[in-house]
């Protein structure tokens, strides 16, 4: 199992607190020693940092922890390799352009036979089943919607139907973003919480660190965090039901399908 | 004018010396204050760092200068904006996937009316004429070669023909890579040199820094550096002729078309 972390917020938000907890699982409190990556959206742009090094020892991870990159959407992943060797091109999250937008995808689980699914436009660069599944998803979205649909609900339903197909092939927890929404699919394990006023204290499970969000936020901030397992032990996380696709935008839950 | 820096080498090579010289031009010895970016290939993978901050003051640039990322192909760019506002999505180099490979592109110059060139598959994420030109190049390459051609020369000739068309629209110095070759197109200004045994000392023009490559290399290393203007003042740079497309692989010059 890998560990996923996602964020959707209505204002550019610093993810370092949650990221610090996640990174400990990369070789210190967890067995996920096979690299990590993180994508930060900034308006239409996207920064991607990848490292095949264990996150707890990574120079780039230290930069990300020191450097307050503020973002409305973040997707991060620490990896315990089960398919595909440990190298940069097999490190999540993966990214492609569709409709002039960055799409970013990170997955945990194993998908059986997914590489036999035929691909059209998008081709994997590495050798993971995860990247193959991402290319397959985007191919189908592009085929059905050559341009972004006016009603996003049409896209959500297509994505849910495709996800059902992937889910039949194994474990398919994923986080996906189209630069506007954060899509969280729970196959076996994924939890989330929304922080909003009145903000309180949060205490990381994996590191000796507490943050008082009241000092870090304004009253209007809405920040949702999605993670494989809860990252804090004094807040109330919602466990997603297996087989559901949950859609967030600007920190708010928009829909759950499944 | 922006500044371009490219490297092609036969072994993973540390670019920090040349990068240090280039970065000084980003707001210290040069007027290129509108962001910078760098792409490092590692086998099939690619790391991209972008920052809309001036490179001479950038936290991410400091990481890149400290952290010895070794790569066979590097493309870097520091920007003086003339088209498109200063923001992450307008920061070079741009990247897309074709044939399951990362393609990376950085451009200097202005191209008139390039946004009227029709696009097919690839759509720009930002608003620069450079990214539009990159999407247009890749669209044509994909249309002509749905798979990578067996003889790379066929691709080189197509790329040269497309570049002639772009060149008619203004200034079009660019660096492009398909994860194997480094393509350097000179429209007005681009120079290169190859370092190989016996290695000597090199002294940066833009910073008080000298390196003795004999201490940093083995006798078999071949490293070519391409830059808008020579970066060192005690080595012999070759100035490329306007209208030429030069192709490097593993540090060696393969061909010049034009």
Question: Residue A162: how many CA atoms within 13 Å on its side-chain side?
Answer: 22
Q: Count H helices, E strands: chain B?
A: 5, 15
The predicted-structure confidence for B141-182, as pLDDT tens digits, reads as follows 999 999 999 999 999 999 999 999 999 999 999 999 999 999
How many Cα neighbours within 13 Å face the side chain of B54?
12
ipTM for the whole complex: 0.91
Q: Which domain holds residue B192?
A: 3-257
Mean pLDDT of B83-106: 92
Distance CA B191, CA B146 (A): 33
Rg (CA), chain A: 17
Those residues whose C-beta lies under 8 Å from the C-beta of residue A66, and which sit 6 or more positions away, are B59
Q: pLDDT for B57-74, tens place per residue?
A: 677 777 777 777 889 999
Q: Are B121 and A122 inside 8 Å of each other by CB?
A: no
Chain B positions contacting chain A at CB under 8 Å are 42-50, 59-60, 63, 66-67, 87-91, 96-97, 99-102, 121-126
Supply the DSSP symbol for B213.
H
Number of CB atoms found within 10 A of residue A124's CB: 23
Asked if B46 and B53 count as a contact pair (C-beta separation under 8 A), the reply is no
Q: Which of A44, A49, A59 sits opposite B89 (nearest CB)?
A: A44
Closest Cα in chain A, distance from residue B122 (Å)? 8
Measured CA to CA, the distance from residue A92 to residue A108 in angstroms comes to: 10
Rounded distance between C-alpha atoms, residue B164 and residue B113, angstroms: 15
Output the domain CATH number for residue A78: 3.60.20.10
Contacts 24+ apart (CB under 8 A), A254-257: A254/A181, A255/A153, A255/A156, A257/A156, A257/A157, A257/A160
Determine whether the interchain pair A87/B60 forms a contact, defined as Cβ–Cβ distance below 8 Å: no
- Exposure on the CB side of residue A143, measured as CA atoms within 13 A: 13
- Chain B positions touching A49 (Cβ under 8 A) are 47
Rounded Cα–Cα distance for residues B189 and B172 (Å): 9
For residues A94 and A145, give the distance between their C-alpha atoms in angstroms, rounded to a whole number: 21
Q: Nearest by CB to B88, from A43, A87, A125: name it.
A: A43
What domain count does chain A have? 1
Interface list for chain A against chain B, based on CB atoms closer than 8 Å: 42-50, 59-60, 63, 66-67, 87-91, 96-97, 99-102, 121-126
Q: Does the beta-carbon distance from A88 to B46 stay under 8 Å? A: yes
Predicted confidence pLDDT, tens digits, chain A (258 residues): 688 999 999 999 988 888 777 777 655 665 556 788 999 999 899 999 988 877 666 777 777 777 778 899 999 998 776 666 788 999 999 999 999 999 999 999 999 999 999 999 999 999 999 999 999 999 999 999 999 999 999 999 999 999 999 999 999 999 999 999 999 999 999 999 999 999 888 888 877 778 888 888 889 999 999 999 998 999 999 999 999 999 999 999 999 999
Distance of CA B104 to the CA centre of its chain: 8
Please judge whether B67 and A89 are an interchain contact, meaning their C-beta atoms are less than 8 angstroms apart.
no
Using a cut of 0.80, tell me whether the model's pTM lies above it: yes
Q: Which residues of B touch A99 (CB under 8 A)?
A: 123
Q: Beta-carbon neighbour count of residue A37 at 10 Å?
A: 25
- Contact indicator for A226, A184 with CB cutoff of 8 Å: yes
In angstroms, the separation between the Cα of residue B95 and the nearest Cα of chain A is 9
Residue closest to A60 by CA, chosen among A31, A80, A40, A43: A40
Instruction: Give the span between the Cα atoms of B208 and A168, in whole angstroms.
Output: 61
Q: Tell me which DSSP letter residue B83 carries.
A: S
B63 SS3 class: helix
Give dist(CA A169, CA A117) in Å, integer. Answer: 11
Catalytic residue among A2, A46, A172, A186: A2
B38 φ, ψ (degrees, to nearest 5): -150, 140
Alpha helices in B113-241 (DSSP H): 129-144, 152-167, 213-216
- Contact call for A89 and B43, based on CB within 8 A: yes
Q: Which chain A residue has the Cα nearest residue B71?
A: A88
């Amino acid at each position: 199992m890998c560990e996923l972390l996602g964020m959707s917020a209505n204002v550019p938000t610093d993810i370092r607190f949650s990221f610090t907890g996640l990174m400990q699982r990369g070789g210190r409190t967890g067995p996920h020693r096979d690299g990590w990556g993180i994508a930060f959206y900034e308006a239409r742009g996207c920064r991607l940092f990848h490292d095949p090094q264990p996150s707890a020892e990574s120079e780039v991870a230290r930069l990300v922890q020191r450097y307050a990159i503020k973002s409305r959407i973040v997707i991060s992943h620490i990896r315990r390799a089960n398919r595909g060797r440990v190298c940069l091109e097999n490190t999540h999250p993966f990214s492609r352009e569709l409709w002039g937008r960055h799409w970013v995808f990170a997955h945990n689980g194993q998908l059986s036979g997914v590489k036999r699914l035929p691909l059209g436009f998008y081709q994997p660069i590495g050798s993971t089943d995860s990247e193959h599944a991402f290319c397959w998803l985007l191919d189908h979205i592009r085929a059905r919607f050559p341009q972004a649909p006016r009603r996003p609900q049409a896209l959500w339903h297509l994505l849910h139907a495709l996800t059902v197909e992937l889910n039949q092939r194994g474990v398919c927890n994923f986080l996906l973003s189209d630069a506007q929404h954060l899509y969280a699919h729970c196959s076996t394990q994924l939890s989330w919480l929304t922080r909003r006023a009145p903000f309180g204290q949060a205490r990381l499970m994996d590191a000796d660190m507490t943050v008082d969000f009241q000092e870090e936020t304004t009253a209007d901030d809405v920040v949702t965090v999605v993670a494989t397992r809860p990252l804090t032990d004094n807040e109330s996380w919602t466990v997603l039901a297996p087989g559901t696709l949950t859609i967030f935008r600007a920190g708010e839950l928009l829909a759950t399908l499944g």
